[in-house]
Each structure stands twice: as C-alpha cells, then as structure tokens.
Amino acid sequence: MSVANLVASADARGRVGLPVLDGRYVATARLGRGASGSTWAAEDVARGDRCVVKLFGAGAGAEIAGEFRRLASLAHPSVVRVRDVGRAADGRAFLVTDLVGGPGLDVVAAIVDDTDRVRRFERLARDLADALAYLHARGLVHGDVAAANVRFAADGRAVLLDLGLAGAPRDGVGGARGTLGYAPPEALVGVRGVAGDLFGLGATLFEAWTGAPPFGHGLAAVQRMLTTRAPRLSAVRAGLPPAWDDLGAALLASEAAQRPASARDVLRLVARASHDGTPSLGDFSAPFPEGDPLEGVFVGRAAERETLRRALEPLAEGAAPRAAIAVVGAPGSGRRTLIESVVREVALAAAAGVTTEVHVARGEVEVLEALVGVAGSAVAEADEARREQRRFAALAEALERSAASRPLCAVLPESSLSEAFLSFMAGAPPSGRIVIVAPTTAPVARPFVENVVLAPLGDEAVRALVARAAWGEDVPSEAADAIVAAAGGHAALAAALARRLALAVREKSALDPTALARPGDDLTAVLAAGFAALSEEARATVVALSLTSNVEAARAIAGLDEVSWSSAFAAARREGWVRAPGVGEGLTSPAHAAIAREALREPAFALT
C-alpha cells in the first residue's frame, strides 16, 4: 500500500468533513479522540468490510510510520490485526486495524453465575497475558493496556485493541502516555515499558472482576497510585481463588521493579491461580525479547533508595535539609541507576499533582552555567584555587536566583569538577530550594552533605537480577549460585554475568556454572570476554558508538549499510552493550565504553 493521501472534504458518499484515506478507508463515525489523535470507525472500500482507523496528530514523530510497519507483521489471536499503515499528504500518520465487534470488558463482571464468571475471567487473564508475552518477545510494548482497549471476539477470546501507542520501550521521553487510571505512575513522565503493560493488565483485570478500576479514573487515580495500595480483589468481590489476590497486588505495585519480571511469568502465575491450572500455549512458545533482558530493571537498594528519597522529597516544598547529596560507591555499583530512579519518582509525584514541580537539570558544571547564564571560564583570578571558588560562588548565586521560582535538582556526572562543586555547595547551610546530586567514590566530608553509601548488593538482589535476565525461564540453582559468588555484590558485574546466563538460556546452551562465572573475575575481564564474543559487525558498532552518540555518524564510522547496522545494533543491544532507541543513546556504561575504546588500540581492529 502506498503512502496515503488525506481528503478532508466531502467523500463520494456525501459524508461531509469525515476523512477518506487514499480513497479506500471511508470514515463513518468518530470513536474517540485523545492527545495523540482521533479514532474512527471506517469502511474499507477495497475489501467491502469495516475497520478502525487511528489518525494521528501533526505532532507525531517522523519515525511513527516505521514503528507501525513493525506492527503490521504481528499475528496473534489476542492482538488486533494491523491491516495498513501510512502517512497522509499533510504529514499525519495513520494506522488501520480490524474491527472487533464483540462486547466489551464489562460483560465479565455482569455474569450472574459465579462459576461461569470465574471461568470467563480466567480465560480473559490468559488471553491478555499471552498477547503481552507475544508483543514483548518481539521488542514491542503496547503502551495503553486498559479496559476500553479490550473486546471479545465471536469465539469468546479477548482481543487487545488500539496499538496507537505501541512501539519499542522508551525511558522518560515526552509527556504522559496511556489512559489515566490504567497507565502506571511512570507513564506520567513518558516511560513506556514492559512493567507498565503489566500494571495496565492488573488494572484491567481488576475492573473485569469488580466492575470498576482499582484507583478510579483521571489524575486523581494517579495520585492514589502513588499514596495507597490497590484494594485486594477479594475485598471488593469474593469468588476467585486466593492466589489472585497476590497476583493482582504484584501487577498493581506502584514501583515497576516490584511487578512480575515478564508477561511469561504472569502466564505461569495465571495458570497456577486458575481452577484448571492449565498453562496457555504462549507459556512455552513465546520467544525471548529482542533487546537487553535487563533493560530498565532495578533490584535491591531499598534502604539507599529510601534515604535518597527522604533527602530529595522536601525539595518540592523548598525545604531540602541538605544542599548536596553524594551517592557513594565503586564504579559499577549502581550509583547512576539509583539517582535516576529516585529523581524520576520525584518527577512522578510532581506530575501527579502530589507535590510541587521540581526542575531537574542534568549535565556537567558547564551545563548548569549555561542554564543560568553564567560564564564560568570568564572568571578572572590568577590563583587557580581562588578562581575555582569564585566560579562556584557565581554559579551558586545564579542557581539560587533561578530556584526562587521553582526548586532545582541538579544531577551531575562523576568527575573531579562535579565533586568539587558538590563539596562547595555542601559547605554552607542550604536554602532548601537547591540540591546538587552526584556519584562519588568516597564520602564527602562537608557539614551540609548527605552521603548515601551503596553497600554491596545482597545475595537475594543478585538472584532477582538473574531471574529477570532469564525472562521467566527456570534457572538451575548452581548457575545462580555461581553468579552470586563471582559477583561479590558488585551490581555491574552481576548484571554482566546475568546477561551471559540469559544468552545461554536463549540459545539453549548447556549451562556450565564454572564457565558462566569464575570467582575472581572482575568487571573488566567479564566485559572483555563478552566483547570478544560479539560478531565483527557488532564490535564495530559498539566501538563506533563509544566515539559518538549520533547514530547516523556511528553507522558511517562503522562502515555498515543500514541493514547490517540494524542487525549488529540488535545483537549488541541483546547482550547489553548499547541502549535501546529512546532510552538514551550510546553504550550502557562507562565500563562498556572503556572496553570498546581499548579495542581501538589493537592492531587487528580497524574501522573504515
């Protein structure tokens, strides 16, 4: 199908003002309108049947039609079929899907017979979890799992509709996504991930059983998500086996890390909770996801997380108890991940209206200077130490002026300059409206600093990381024990070893615990071995991305055509070397970048 043309005038049948796409899809009625665009019931003139067209707003990104073409290859009985995608002459993207004409989700709660209602509910849960396992295994997230987006087909199966927000995972890009009341808290700051789909599944199942969503509708629902737990299913309506209470609570956890690891896991839990205990076909047939199995995963650090949260939360009210927070730990201990996790929680609370908005700025000291219009390099002083102090004083004064209208949290990278500025800010009593946060390797000895020291990951946290990397597959206890022993509580090393395990599980390789993880291996050794195991094209991709975060420039450096680049990028991402598009560009960590740059020194390695 060629790219469509939009005709906004009357169509040949006299329907004035309703869109006609490519002369083929004739809109008959508007079904709904949202922030992303409008949805229409339509007639497919070429096929002589009815369909659904979603026409997106002019602001939709240029990549959206490409993402939708991925959806067109999907084939699952509980995922609505995509018939066509395109872009109108005025630039607007559209998506055409089948029309599922059966009843909506409310028919389940209305069933009078208890046995029939339980059976219908259990099948609904299996169908939807199976559909999500299918999508997630192909690197796609639905993005809007909600009661309104589920209908029943003529044979009784549940079908997941509206793929308008579907696509690859995204980490905090753009504004709120999804349907309030069903979207997870993190969706308020633009996150689109597997855990969010599982939250939406939990809210949808809750409504199917009880007749109402767990937190209500709209922004007030998001506020309740952040401040209270969802009611247990049995507390609202009795009749389900007790295991459903635990599954519902896990799906509706406000923190993504507390939800099940994958839809495959949910399928198993649904089977165990159901009366017949029969797993669905998808429990065994769904392939592994295309991307990094640990993308977006955060385990452990409950105590450190709470300490950092307590230090940051008062900032929204202009009452931060410390001017500076140092997150202390060795490289690879998870400092940056912890900082971003808690900063996101602060942003979520503000987006939900629970607290006042906080301005979050990220970057080196020079970025802060540019933000507030201070020329740090222009400070005139012969003595270097005094010049630095004057520079910091000018920046601190400008930051205070900027924070007078909105509290500011500045997240700095690890560097000597960042630590020096953090130490400077921690030397004076806080105003309450500015907090500087940075990772350091040692505690900062200043009077007004909060040192959040990261202890080694506990054994259970490492086991949780291993379980998530395996994506619902059973892991031999000796393999998990080997990783726990070799990692020694080091977060990045545990993650690298868990990815190695995931690769073995995916490829159905024999798991030799002694080859998987050897006590004494450090992060550098494990990453170097992982880099050497990549294909030549994947290594070139990793090295190119260590030199520039611009994807087109990196592809040129690697000397790969578009098809080869796509394949190599996917392979490198699958083994945890590069970030997914939309989750931040470049390599996974500075340790990965160091290994890649070291490869450039090898005589046998060359880029075009």
Taking the C-alpha atoms of residue 355 and residue 315, their distance in angstroms, rounded to an integer, is 10
DSSP string, 536-572: HHHHHHHHHHHH-S-HHHHHHHHT--HHHHHHHHHHH
What number is the average pLDDT over the span 324-332?
A: 93
Strands 408-411 and 359-362: parallel
Under 8 Å CB-to-CB from 496, ≥6 apart: which residues?
Answer: 523, 526, 527, 530, 576
Residue bearing the bigger pLDDT, 118 or 573 = 118
Residue 369 has pLDDT above 70, yes or no: yes
Under 8 Å CB-to-CB from 255, ≥6 apart: which residues?
Answer: none
Taking the C-alpha atoms of residue 196 and residue 165, their distance in angstroms, rounded to an integer, is 12
Q: Where are the alpha helices (DSSP H) in 442-561?
A: 459-469, 477-487, 491-506, 513-516, 523-533, 536-547, 551-558
- Kindly state the tokens that stand for 36: 């992303």
Describe the crossing of helices 263-273 and 243-251 by its angle, rounded to 10 degrees. Answer: 160
CB 10 within 8 A of CB 29: no
What number is the average pLDDT over the span 127-135?
A: 93
Total Cβ atoms within 10 A of residue 356: 13
- In this predicted structure, what is the pLDDT of residue 130? 92
What number is the average pLDDT over the span 563-586?
A: 76
Instruction: Tell me which residue of 193, 208, 47 sits closest to 119, measured CA to CA.
Output: 208
- In this predicted structure, what is the pLDDT of residue 16? 35
Percent of the chain with pLDDT over 70: 84
pLDDT confidence of 88, banded at 50, 70, 90?
low
- Kindly state the tokens that stand for 523: 């992060």
Instruction: Quote the pTM value.
Output: 0.76
Residue 86 has pLDDT above 80, yes or no: no
Residue 187 has pLDDT above 60, yes or no: yes
- In this predicted structure, what is the pLDDT of residue 514? 62
CA distances from 6 to 3, 18, 459 (A): 10, 10, 58
Residue 63 has pLDDT above 60, yes or no: no
Using a 10 angstrom Cβ sphere, with 0-12 exposed, 13-18 middle and 19 or more buried, the burial of residue 352 is buried
Mean per-residue pLDDT of the chain: 83
Residue bearing the bigger pLDDT, 266 or 92 = 266
- In this predicted structure, what is the pLDDT of residue 222? 83
What number is the average pLDDT over the span 147-151?
A: 94
First to last CA, the chain: 38
- In this predicted structure, what is the pLDDT of residue 381? 63
Taking the C-alpha atoms of residue 567 and residue 329, their distance in angstroms, rounded to an integer, is 36
Residue 9 has pLDDT above 80, yes or no: no
- In this predicted structure, what is the pLDDT of residue 502? 80
**Residue for token pair 């790969």:** 560
CB 263 within 8 A of CB 278: no
Residue 327 has pLDDT above 90, yes or no: yes
